[in-house]
Structure 1
Amino acid sequence: MLDDFFLRAVLGGLGVAAASGPLGCFVVWRRMAYFGDATAHAALLGVTLALASNLPIVAGVSIAALAMALTVSIATGRTYAMDTMLGVASHGALALGMVAVSLLPNVRIDMMGFLFGDILAITRADLGVIWGGAAIVAALLAWRWRNLLLATLNEDLAASAGVDAGRERLVLTLALALLVAVALKVVGVLLITAMLIIPAAAARVHARTPEAMVVQAVGMGAVSVVLGLQGSLRFDTPAGPSIVTAAMILLLSVNLAGALLRRAGRRA
């Protein structure tokens, strides 16, 4: 069954949706969109590290993404504000990664695949990595769920309950670095943040509880994967961008439906 490349692509995309849904909710709640962007852009430096040291790509990307996230977290507020640090880190990491890859001797790689993903080339081994990473992310967030929510809602309230907000930020940082590593081949460096934010933003429109928003975000991500891949197959468009486009259409549709329901409620 897994010999079908399209089925492998769907399963790989669903694995990323399962991990990005709950993590994306925390990114939206904590307004960490640019933080996720900087972490994702560091992935190209991780690719260079992996190729230069004969490490697996996933290992190199995980190390680079985690190092970027920790550096930004530690340096923010000491010299520059958060938005300035994230802007410098995000674009600087992307540029450095592309330059570093081009300087590797006797190495030729598909840069477009790393930037925009190559989901249709997913192998069985890739599926194992993606779903293994998704399981670790889900387990990590489930284990720290209550503390993460407290630290997200109010750090003072979390401190009074004995929750270390800094430790919870580290948990999110670890989960984000792992997601970047496993999602790289599916949607690429430039689109990872979109898969984090857009399904979660769409789920936020009608969700009434944090748990409901997480479930809806995973569902929105899964539907985006299926619709995007179907559209890619039918219209011969790039698979990764097609998935993000489908997510955008879902977001617009959900917001339009919400506006119509509110208008109907006012008239009633």
Structure 2
Amino acid sequence: MLDDFLIRAALAGAAVALVAGPLGAFVIWRRMAYFGDATAHAAVLGVALALAFEASVFAGTLVVALAMAVTAVRLKGRGHAMDAILGVLSHSALAIGLVAISLVPAVRVDLTAWLFGDILSVSRADLAVIWGAAVVALGLLVWRWRPLLTATLNTELAAASGIDPRREDLTLTLALALVVALALKVVGALLIAAMLIVPAAAARSLARTPEGMALGATVIGLASVALGLQGSLRFDTPAGPSIVTAAAVFFVLSFVFGPLLRAVRSHGR
């Protein structure tokens, strides 16, 4: 019989994988990898503010991640060089967050848990918050799937079809902030972007449709959580990094066998 803490860890990881799969596909299609990284790094500042004001860490992380994402979107709309802007925002938010945490009086904080996750300590209350946020984020993506996909492929076509690309950007931004907030406990601020990008990148070479890529990323994410937790218990390694390592193995396998699969499909036509 599995221990109760391991069941909670698996359920928390599954929630992250379910929403990170389809959202990660959009991150790759829109070339938003650095955007996701900047939003995730801002989570540390959210932790510091939540501890300072004795508020919910999830709420503090969500507010700061959303503020970071909206700021990046607005700066992009004004024509700024996004690679430089995101680099400044990302590393500045991470550094300020680490400094702020050290200045919070009478609070002892295990930075490793926030930077790399502490999925094995997820409580029932944490699980309820994580799944609640995952359902909201996944619901947003399902509800706006077609408009989001159209706006991703061609903004002019989206506008001609009556779709407001800026509204879809906001939807994606909100979903990304939710994922950052719910994944912080699972894989930590430094590895959240990896959970978005690596499973989706692995699924990209195997899928033939956008929906297939999103589903494949979700399946790979779920398998990575299962294998990562098993490896963590067997080899006594950190759980969050072990999950991302498992996802990286799937990416390597997809990189090796993806061309073979495409050749088989072409031959079968």
**Does TM-score exceed 0.5, indicating one fold?**
yes
Q: In structure 1, what is the equivalent of residue 91 of structure 2? A: 91
* Partner amino acid, structure 2, of 1:65: A
| Deviations 1:210-253 (CA, angstroms, capped at 9, x unpaired) | 11111111100000000011011111111000000000000101
Q: In 2, Cα distance between the equivalents of 1:171 and 1:261?
A: 34
Distance 1:58 1:265, change over 3 A: closer
Pair 1:203 & 2:196 matched: no
For residue 119 of structure 1, report the CA deviation from its aligned partner. Answer: 0.4
For residue 130 of structure 1, report the CA deviation from its aligned partner. Answer: 1.1
User: 1:62 touches 1:181 (CA, 8 Å); kept in 2?
Assistant: yes
Q: In structure 2, what is the equivalent of residue 176 of structure 1? A: 176
Q: In structure 2, what is the equivalent of residue 191 of structure 1? A: 191
> What pairs up with 1:1-268 in 2 under 5 angstroms?
4-76=4-76, 78=78, 80-261=80-261
Query: Structure 1 residues 44-53 or 32-41, which shifts more?
Result: 44-53
| Deviations 1:69-107 (CA, angstroms, capped at 9, x unpaired) | 111111236474011101111111111100111111111
The count of corresponding residues between Structure 1 and Structure 2 is 268
Query: Structure 1 residues 67-76 or 54-63, which shifts more?
Result: 67-76
Identity level (%):
62
User: 2:117 touches 2:189 (CA, 8 Å); kept in 1?
Assistant: yes
Distance 1:2 1:253, change over 3 A: closer
User: 1:2 touches 1:124 (CA, 8 Å); kept in 2?
Assistant: no
Aligned residue for 1:253, secondary structure, equals: helix
For residue 108 of structure 1, report the CA deviation from its aligned partner. Answer: 1.1
* Partner amino acid, structure 2, of 1:96: I
TM-score normalised by structure 2 residue count: 0.95
Query: Structure 1 residues 74-83 or 38-47, which shifts more?
Result: 74-83
Q: In 2, Cα distance between the equivalents of 1:267 and 1:62?
A: 48
What's the C-alpha RMSD, in Å, of the aligned pairs? 1.8
User: 1:10 touches 1:229 (CA, 8 Å); kept in 2?
Assistant: yes
Query: Structure 1 residues 142-151 or 71-80, which shifts more?
Result: 71-80
User: 2:205 touches 2:259 (CA, 8 Å); kept in 1?
Assistant: no
Query: Structure 1 residues 71-80 or 16-25, which shifts more?
Result: 71-80
For residue 187 of structure 1, report the CA deviation from its aligned partner. Answer: 0.1
Q: In 2, Cα distance between the equivalents of 1:80 and 1:173?
A: 18
Q: In 1, Cα distance between the equivalents of 2:263 and 2:140?
A: 40
For residue 264 of structure 1, report the CA deviation from its aligned partner. Answer: 6.9
TM-score normalised by structure 1 residue count: 0.95
Q: In 1, Cα distance between the equivalents of 2:199 and 2:158?
A: 27
Distance 1:6 1:211, change over 3 A: same
User: 1:48 touches 1:100 (CA, 8 Å); kept in 2?
Assistant: yes
Distance 1:3 1:264, change over 3 A: closer
